Structure formats: C-alpha cells, structure tokens
Amino acid sequence: MHITSIPSELIWAVWLLPLAAFAIISPLIRPFPGKAEPASYISIAAVSLSLGLSLWLLASVWQMPDHQLLLSGFNWLNISGGPVFNFGLLIDPLSAIMLVVVNSVSLMVQIYSRAYMRSDPGYLRYFAFISLFTASMLGLITASNLLSTFVFWELVGLSSYLLIGFWFHRPAAAAAAKKAFLVTRIGDVGFLAAILLLYSHAGTLDITTLHSLAVTGAISASVLLWATLGLFLGAMGKSGQFPLHIWLPDAMEGPTPVSALIHAATMVAAGVFLVARMYPLFEAAPHALTIVAAIGAFTAVFAATMGLVMNDIKRVLAYSTISQLGLMMLGLATGGVWVGIFYLVNHAFFKALLFLGAGSVNHATGTFDLREMGGLRIKIPWTFACFILAAVSLAGIWPLAGFFSKEGVLSSAIDKQPVLFGLAIITTFMTAFYMFRVVFLVFGGQYRGSHGPHESSKTMLIPMVLLAIPAVASGWLNANGGFERLLNGAATHGFWLGVVGVLTHPMAWISLLVVGSGIFMAYAMYIRVWISPNRVKWIFRSLYAIFTRKYWMDDFYEKLIVGNLLYHGLFQAFQWLDKVVIDGAANSVAFVTTGASRMARRIQTGQFQLYGIVAVLGIVLIALIALVRG
C-alpha cells in the first residue's frame, strides 16, 4: 500500500496547530475566566488534527527510502558576516514517532481534562496552557537546529511551571512550580554550555551537520565529552535523573491530567529525547555513554526504593516515573536509540493511563492517600480494569507492552554493563512490588475511606480505555523488529522472535520470575497479610526512615545547599562584598568629595572685591607668562 507523502506545509501545521489553539484561547481568559466549553473544543480539535497529520507524517517517513525529511524553513538569525541560524524542521523516524506519542497522549489527556477540570474556575487557562505545552514539546521534537531546540526546551520548562503551579493559590503548588523551574534550570545551564561549546568548535548548531561532524571525528573527543556531559546535564534536569530528580515528586501538586502529560509525553520525555537526538555525539564521545548508563541505572534503583514506601498514589507513580526514566537512560546508553525510545513510547501510554486512573480514583474517593482507599474493584470497575492493565504492563508481564521494552533494556544492559544489569533487575523487582502494592491497596480488600466512591463519567473513562489499547499492545510494534529497523536502520538484536518467540530466550524467564516474585510479595503482604507490612516496616525501620525521608535529599538541598551554602555562605559573602567593598567605595568617594568641597568653599567669601583681586592677579600672571615665554 502506498500512501501519498505529506506536503511540507502540513508538517509545519503539526506543531503550529496547538500553538494556534493557545493563541486563540489565551486572549479569552480574561473575559471568560471560568467555564467556557468551546475553548476545550478548540484545543482538542487542534491536537486531533495534529495527531492525524503526525500519523500521516509517520507513514510518509516509513516509506521514504532514507527515512529522513529536512525542511529548511527560514533563516531565523542572520548575523552579518557570521553564522546563520536556521529555523527548520528535522523529520526522521525518531521525531515522527515522538510526534505521534505526544499528540496521542495529549489528546487523551485533554479529553479527560474536560471532565476532570469541569468545575475549575481556571478552565480556559488550563486549556490554553496545555496547548502551549503540547506545542512547545512538538516544536522541541521537530527542531532541526540546537538553538531552536533550546528555545522550545525552555518553553516546555515554562509551560510545565505554569501547569504545575496551576492552582497557584495553594502555597505547596506555587512552591512546587518554583522548585521544578529552578531545578531544571540547573540542568539547562549545562545544555546552554554544551551549545556554546559545540558552536565554538563546530561552527554550526545544525543537528544533522553536528551528527556527521561527530561521526567523521571533526570534533575532538574531549570537546565531545564535555558537550555531551552538558547535554546530559540538561537531560538530567528535565528527565529527573539523580541528583536533579527532586522536582518531579513535588510536581504532583499540579492537576492530575497535567501529571499524566508531564510524566508520559511532554516534560520528562524531553530529556530522553535530547539524548536520543544527539546520540551520534554520545557514541563518539569516550565514556559519555558509560556515565549516562551509570546515572540512569542508579536513578532507577534509587527512585524505586522511595516508591516502595510512599502513601500517596501519585507520589508512588512519580517515583516510578523517575525510576523508569533511569531505565530509559540505561537502555539508550547500552542498547542505542531504539531501546530507549521504545521504552519511552511504551511507558508514555501506560504511565499516562496510570495517572488518569489515579485521577479517576481521586474523583471517586476524594483523596490520593492509599490508606483511605481499598475495595474499589467493585465500585469503579472500569477504572480498575484500565489501572490494572497499565500496572501489569509497567511491571512487565508478557505479553503486555512493558515486558517488551524492559526486555530490550535488560538484554542490552547485560551485554554491555553487567553490574548495571544487576541494578536494573533489582529495579524490576521493586517496580512490580510497588505497583501491585498500589493496586492491592486501592482495589483490594475493604474500603477504608468515608467518601462513597462512584465511577467517573464517560468523558474520563473513554480516554482511559483508548489509552489502554496501546498500553497493552504497543510492545508488539517491535514484534518483528519493525520499530528497531525504523530507528536503527536494521534489526540487529537477534533476540526478537515475535510476540511468542521472545519466550525462548532465558532473559524473558529471568525477568518474568523477578516480576512474579515482586507481585507475589505484594500479594503476600497486602492481600493475604502473611507478612504484616507493619512488621516489615519495624524490621527495616532504619531503611524505612531513609526511604520515607527521601534520603534526606530535600533536606540536604534545602538546609545545606540553599540554607547554609547559599543563604548563610555565598549570599552573606555577597552582602558583605556589597556593603563593605562596593558601598564602601561609593561612600568614600562621596566622603572625600564633601570634605574637599567643605574646605574649598571657604574661598567663596561673598566679597566681590576679593574676587576682583584674584581675577586681576590672574590676568597679571597670564601677562607675565606671555612676556616670559615671548
């Protein structure tokens, strides 16, 4: 079957449509602050069209012989005699796949939000921001120039700030938004430094040119190492890698559909995408990939341990996201672009579904606290069905999506980094445990709350059911190696033998065994109570304290870095410098001037005859000088 290739004007429309929705809705916020149903139709229509176009685009890219499409766009910055910064689009399989993922998740989240945000006074503002968020992510994905990537990167940061702090009248939400903005900013410094470094050595920021320069070795290895580390620092900030992960759990203060969007497709995916986009540079840089892999694997285990003990359903999911992002980084570093992106795509669907499910549970029970739920499998059966599918997929049970992407990461990790493979296996175990801890606490046993739970409306359930389809099946995209071929040029793995054939590999059984024991342990603790959770808590009380206090990372940053180092150290030093040196210099200039003038003004006696004498003496002096010098 041959599909007509998409015309280039429509490729621009992919990211301009949500931007247009933002431009149309945002002027309406003032006059119609509250409920204005048509606004949500505008943004949903924009993102649906955009999704349609990106599907067409993906099909076009699929059947192109070289799978690449470069739209030169226009000269954005033209510095005379110097560089030209081009604002164009780079469409390759990577960006085409990401476009489909972002648009589909965003569409589902927006439909869901129509019900979830129904009675919110900021209804219009919400849809304006979410359109901007989608547009900036789409722009980031398609940018052909590292400079415009950076612009969209910052726009993604801005819109996540706006949405995390959507309920800005809550102090916790305002603080979380600020924290997200500032922490990701630390990473952005690295990104910017990498851009400057690359520009000063390569003379261009065009992504494809940079790729070829890195492959041919035109950029020296040490430059590439520092540049990739800078890029990775940016990715660490956005994708919540240790030690810049601290903003992500706090970002739960935003509306739940926003969390779904941030955690699945837009914000945190940006970091993984950036590493994937600049992958040839990472490959050419010595040790860069090892660092990426090590930080990714460490983050995966580190975040999973905190996910074990959280009592807030959204926080468990947040730590799960951090942990999964770590696995994506590990997959990128050990298996190449396709492993990481395959994981990202699968994760996007089931994690979005989990968050939408958490929102639906919240709708039913009025809380996010796991201790006040229970027994909801009967009360909210549709939510239960969707949530458990997503949880099984995330835990990684054959034949759901999460299993296949996890196989990719595990089998490439064991080839390249056996130690990190161990960390990944531990993470797999903990992932299965904490996901099923949530499932059993929310849906198993008896209801412990006092709210009178009820199923959510169809507007919320339909997007969840639609998302459940890819959450189950997106793993089969690579059943015959198609996904890998598209991103990698060829299916090299040799491990992929179809949906069923994958089970002939021992790795599949290892991971299934680990996942199964994780689920069984959750079952034993939370359904059967063979092992009392409180007893486990008591036995491991020191570990439990460490996990619940999040390794004191927040306290470390707040007290030690912000409090002691910055506030009492650096800022005090700056204040001293300002007061003593700067003010001192200014004050002493003023003091000397007033003192000198206090003396000098005594000459002004007001006696005009004295002035006359001085003037005459002056004339005489001039006359004498003239006489002497001839």
Window contacting another protein (CB under 8 A); options: 239-247, 427-435, 437-445, 598-606: 598-606
Tell me the closest approach of the beta carbon of residue 601 to another protein, in angstroms. 4
Tell me the closest approach of the beta carbon of residue 626 to another protein, in angstroms. 17
Distance CA(19)–CA(332), nearest Å, equals 30
User: Does 608 sit near another protein (CB under 8 A)?
Assistant: yes
Window contacting another protein (CB under 8 A); options: 233-241, 378-386, 417-425, 597-605: 597-605
Tell me the closest approach of the beta carbon of residue 181 to another protein, in angstroms. 57
Residue-by-residue DSSP string for 51-110: HHHHHHHHHHHHHSSS--EEEEEEEEEE-TTS-EEEEEEEE-HHHHHHHHHHHHHHHHHH
Nearer of residues 570 and 613 to another protein, judged by Cβ: 613
Q: Which of 490, 601, 627, 630 binds another protein (CB under 8 A)?
A: 601
Distance CA(387)–CA(175), nearest Å, equals 30
Q: Which of 613, 621, 622, 624 binds another protein (CB under 8 A)?
A: 613
Phi, psi dihedral angles at 170 (to 5 degrees): -85, 125
For the chain, the C-alpha Rg in angstroms (whole number) is 30
Nearer of residues 30 and 602 to another protein, judged by Cβ: 602
User: Does 605 sit near another protein (CB under 8 A)?
Assistant: yes
Q: Which of 418, 602, 629, 630 binds another protein (CB under 8 A)?
A: 602
Q: Which of 65, 506, 604, 630 binds another protein (CB under 8 A)?
A: 604
In this structure, are residues 469 and 328 in contact, taking their beta carbons and an 8 Å threshold? no
User: Does 606 sit near another protein (CB under 8 A)?
Assistant: yes
Please choose, from the candidates 240, 467, 427, the residue with its C-alpha nearest in 3D space to the C-alpha of residue 346: 467
User: Does 607 sit near another protein (CB under 8 A)?
Assistant: yes
Please choose, from the candidates 526, 553, 405, the residue with its C-alpha nearest in 3D space to the C-alpha of residue 470: 405
Tell me the two tokens of residue 122. Answer: 């900021």
Window contacting another protein (CB under 8 A); options: 12-20, 188-196, 400-408, 604-612: 604-612
Tell me the two tokens of residue 315. Answer: 């926080």
Residue 81, sorted as left (phi over 0), alpha (psi -120 to 50) or beta, turns out to be: left
Tell me the closest approach of the beta carbon of residue 624 to another protein, in angstroms. 16
Tell me the closest approach of the beta carbon of residue 600 to another protein, in angstroms. 9
Task: HSE, CB side, 13 Å, CA atoms: give it for residue 630.
Answer: 0
Tell me the closest approach of the beta carbon of residue 578 to another protein, in angstroms. 35
Tell me the closest approach of the beta carbon of residue 611 to another protein, in angstroms. 10
Q: How many residues bind another protein (CB under 8 A)?
A: 11
User: Does 616 sit near another protein (CB under 8 A)?
Assistant: yes
In the block, residue with structure tokens 């696995």:
327
C-alpha pair distances (Å), 93 with each of 62, 394, 413, 451, 488? 7, 25, 24, 48, 9
x-or-dash pattern for another protein, window 167-206, by CB under 8 A? ----------------------------------------
Please choose, from the candidates 474, 513, 332, the residue with its C-alpha nearest in 3D space to the C-alpha of residue 408: 332
User: Does 594 sit near another protein (CB under 8 A)?
Assistant: no
In the block, residue with structure tokens 């476009």:
99
Residues that bind another protein (CB under 8 A): 601-602, 604-609, 612-613, 616
